[in-house]
Structures are given as C-alpha cells and as structure tokens.
Amino acid sequence: MLNDILKQLTARAKKSSRQLINLSTDKKNAALLKMAESLLEQERYILQENAKDVAAGKKSGMVESLIDRLTLNERRIRSMADSLRQIAQLEDPVYQTIEGYLRPNGMYIQKRRVPIGVILIVYEARPNVTSDCVGLCFKSGNAAILRGGSNALNSNRAIFNLLQEACASEGVKEAFFFIDSADKEAVDILVRDCASNIDLVIPRGGQSLIEKIVSISRVPVIKHYKGVCHIYVDKELPDREQALSICLNAKVQRPAVCNAMETLLVHEQIAGDFLPRFKKAADAHAVELRGCARTRQILKGVKAAAEDDWYAEYLDLILAVRVVDSVEQAIEHINTYGSGHTESILSSNTFTIEKFLKEVDSACVFSNISTRFSDGYEFGLGAEIGISTDKLHARGPMGLRDLTTYKYIVTGNGQIRE
C-alpha cells in the first residue's frame, strides 16, 4: 500500500518538474513572498504544532542539544520568512547562459542552466529545513519531495501546508510534496523503488541515516555528511581575546549544528597561556573538554581524548582538544580526522594562513572567523539545501545554482557533418 502511494506521489512530482521550468521569475517570486507572509501570519499556529514535537522529544529523552535544533521560536520563524524573501530577491538561475561560442562552421553553442528535476530531501529534527528546501527548490525550478524526521512531524506538516496554500494562492499547484508518514520504510521505498521518478537525493542528518541511504539508493546522492569542524589557533595570533571569543562562539552558540567546532587545535608555543583561558570561558558554559596528553599536562583533570574523539561529531557541549607542533601538523590532523566540512585558522601570519587555506581539504576553509559562518544564509545564498561534503556535483553550502545542471543548446542554419 505505502509502495503504491509513494510511486503515485513521485510520478506526480516528475510531471510537475517538467512544468516548473516554464514558470516566470515574477510568478516564482510572488509565490515566495506569499509563503514568507504566511509563515509570519500563522506564527502562533506553527509554534503550537512545534510545541507538540518538543514535548514529545523531551518525554522520549531527546538530548538538550537536539531539542534546541527542534525548537522554533518567534526569531527563528522570522528568519525562515526572511530566507524566503532573500531567495525571491536572488537572480533566477533557470535557463541562464553559462557560456556561448560560435564554431567555424557557423554553429552557435550555448551551455545553459536547467533544473535537476525531482529532488528528494531526507532530513531530521530541524523544521526550518522544510521552508528553506521548498524555497530553494521552487526558485530553481525543481520539484521537491520532503521527508522530515518523525520527531518533527507536526512542525514540518504545519509549515509545509502553509507554504503549499500560499503557493496555490498565486496559481501554482503541486510544486512540492510532503511525505506525511512516520513509517521508516518510506525512505527505503523512495530511494530504491521510485528511482525512475527521482533525479537526486539529498540526505541531511546523522551518519547512520546518510550511510544507509547511500548503501541502498538507486538514485544519485549528494552527501551532507557530519561536520567534524576544527579551529587551529596559531602561535602568531592577531588578538588573543578575539581568538577566545571566536573559539567560544564556534562551540557554544549552537552546539548541535553541523558547523559547530568539534576539535580545537592549539600551537604548542601558546598552549600554556591560551588553553587555561579558554577552559575558564568554556567552563562557564559547561563544556566538557577531552584532551591529548599535552593538553592534560596544561589542564589538570581534563578527560583523556581517545582515538574516536578525533573523529567525533558530538553535536553537544563536548570538545576535543589537541596541542600541535606546527601548522603542518594541524593540517595533517584535519585532513586525517576531518569530515571535509569547515575548518578555520586564527593567525596574523599571511604565509601560514595561505598554507592552511590551500592545503586543508575541506568544503569551507576560513581565516580568523568562527566556523558558525559556514551557512548558506550567511554566504548570501538566501538559505541552503544543506552543506555538501562531496566534491561532485556540488560542495559546501548549496544554493540556487547548485540545484541546477546544464544542457547544450546548439543552433545552426543547415550544417551537416561530412
């Protein structure tokens, strides 16, 4: 029964995707603005439905950091609406000419952006993902199928229905679709049995979810893998208080998100001064530190870091700390243990910074800023479909252009090949 329902739904999505390419930019923008307006007008309703999910999460023993990801408030709803408005203001990528050139025989060849088609997004307990993904897929001409986590079902359903009604009020129906089921088998059916109707799968969630989808999917997958993000504090700091502030922000501002710092690397020449200062600041936020042997010589009583800690995405107020000999050792550590997400160096040495930026193999590499800025909204993309840790077809925060592919348009006046 569920198999038949999902096959019918994905077939409708496929049909819709072939019609969306003809939507004008003005029509899409009007619908996006209407969606934003609807979220603000129905704020109380959204919060009411979200409260049900939060209460259920607390009752089931969900950890506090994940409760934070699940929880909506007035500020977060305003941010969701603002993202939709920003997407409406961005340039429409659909049918943009990437390049065009004339061949000696008179043929004119153009490479133009086109939508990918039907995109399935599988995500966990972050209700704002619903509106972000709808907005980005809609503006880029793709039909979106959303399958959120069961622990956010009430929130996701409420947001989706409001967006759908707003879009329909502007004359656009069936532009995006929602899997209104907590059945775990639904994802298996979608990526395995509905492959002919889905062009791309984007999983956003924990390691086990992503690995499972990759192992069974018959549809191409762009992995938005875990964020084992690092900050390396170099011996030549521009400002130690600023460095402390950046490191603290990267860990505690929202510890349950993928761009939070999970490992702190500190050069040995400043570790004796910097680490006690950082620990004092981190203790005020109840951060548990797990350190290497040299870290524990400086910070007495800190728990020893095991090998697994260097690979860990805690998504919690836990931080692995290592003292390193050099920027080279920091780079080696990151390239060995990191997930290819986001890393930052804090330094005043231009040569050291450039070496770090060039040699660290991650989607986003920063200097002198918090890893928390690894975000589509902060990059000016309006929102993000996620942060890809793959290298093909997209890498880092994925915005509108990353949700398109291209085709060649070739025009002539009777040329034949001899």
pLDDT classification of 80: cutoffs 50, 70, 90? very high
136 strand-pairing partners = none
Which residue intervals of 91-206 are DSSP H helices?
A: 128-139, 153-169, 185-193
> Mind listing the pLDDT tens digit for each residue in 19-38?
999 999 999 999 999 999 99
Interval 176-226: pLDDT, tens:
999 998 898 999 999 999 999 999 999 988 788 899 999 999 999 999 888
Which CATH entry fits the domain spanning 2-222+398-411: 1.10.443.10, 3.40.605.10, 3.40.50.12280, 2.40.30.10? 3.40.605.10
pLDDT, tens digit (0-9, with 9 covering 90-100), for 347-399: 999 999 999 999 999 999 999 999 999 999 999 999 999 999 999 999 999 99
The encoded tokens of residue 268 equal 């040995």
Q: How many CB atoms lie within 10 A of CB 296?
A: 18
Spatial CB neighbours of 211, under 8 Å, sequence gap ≥ 6: none
Whole-number pLDDT of residue 156:
97
Question: What is the spatial order of strands in the sheet that 318-324 belongs to?
Answer: 303-304, 288-291, 318-324, 261-267, 229-233, 342-346, 364-367
Q: Which phi and psi (to 5°) does residue 259 adopt?
A: -100, 15
Query: What pLDDT, in 10s, does the model give residues 238-269?
Result: 899 999 999 999 999 999 899 999 999 999 99
- Domain 229-373 fold is Aldehyde Dehydrogenase; Chain A, domain 2 (3.40.309)
How high is the pLDDT of residue 248? 98
146: its two tokens = 């959303």
Largest CA distance in the chain: 81
pLDDT band at 124 (very low <50, low <70, confident <90, very high): confident
Q: Which helix (H) or strand (E) holds 390?
A: none
Q: What is the mean pLDDT of the chain?
A: 96
Question: What is the separation of C-alpha 72 from the centre of its chain, rounded to a whole number of angstroms?
Answer: 18
Paired residues of 93 in beta bridges: none
Write down the pLDDT at residue 66. 84
Q: Return d(Cα 365, Cα 229) in angstroms, integer.
A: 10
Q: Is residue 72 a contact partner of residue 44, using CB atoms and an 8 Å limit?
A: no
Return the amino acid letter for 22.
Answer: N
In this structure, what token pair is assigned to residue 157? 């359903």
3-state helix, strand, coil in the chain (%, to 5): 45, 20, 35
- For 150-170, b where at least 16 C-beta lie within 10 A, e where not — what string? ebbbbbbbbbbbbbbebbeeb
The structural domains of the chain, with segments of one domain joined by +, span: 2-222+398-411, 229-373
Spatial distance between the Cα atoms of 318 and 160, rounded to a whole number of angstroms? 34
Select the more confidently predicted residue: 125 or 51: 51
- Please write the tens of the pLDDT for every residue from 82-117: 999 999 999 999 999 999 999 999 999 999 999 999
Look up the pTM and report it.
Answer: 0.92
Question: Facing residues of 131 across strands?
Answer: none
CA distance 83 to 77: 10
Domains 2-222+398-411 and 229-373 in one fold:
no
pLDDT of residue 326: 98
Burial class (CB in 10 A: 0-12, 13-18, 19+), 184: exposed
